[in-house]
Amino acid sequence: MKTLTLKAETGWTRRLNPILGAGFWVNAVIGGSIRDVLCRQLGVEDIYLDDRVQTLFLDGKPVDDVDQALVPDGGVLSLSAAMPGLVGSTLRKGGHLAAMRKSISCDLGDDTCEQDGRVKIKLFNVVARELGPGFLEGVSLFPGSRSVSF
């Protein structure tokens, strides 16, 4: 695992969108819900997760309920604002067309024990611009560690 330390002027982080989309690893206590990992551990505000993040994938599968889906060690969370068109409507969490993707949606997690692990975070479009700088700063987002691994 390699560690990258960044110092940049405001606005420069937009150039990192390809990296944010490819994903970066963060240390977390895994086995809890997506909300627990993103909001309680990584500092994303609940209202932001509920209102701004419209499309969310766990290990490549769409997620509707961030309070029920459990994050495994090595899991990949992909976050996006609303996407346009029929695909965007179908993939939107809790959307009217969510039933059309039932066979590919994320299953609710089992009773996985919580333990230290890591999660890959992928950020896209507006979410990358809004959350990316906070993740990259590493201030209070990574208890016990000030590094992000790509």
| Structure confidence by residue, pLDDT tens digits, 16-54 | 788 889 988 889 999 999 999 999 999 999 999 999 999
Question: Structural domain boundaries of the chain?
Answer: 17-145
Give the per-residue pLDDT at 67. 94
Cα–Cα–Cα angle for 108, 85, 129, rounded to 5 degrees: 75
pLDDT at residue 142 is higher than 80 = no
| Percent of the chain predicted with pLDDT > 70 | 61
CA dihedral 11→41→146→2, nearest 10 degrees, is -90
Instruction: Categorize the per-residue pLDDT at 145 as very low, low, confident or very high, splitting at 50, 70 and 90.
Output: very low
Give the per-residue pLDDT at 114. 67
**φ, ψ for residue 105, nearest 5 deg:** -75, 155
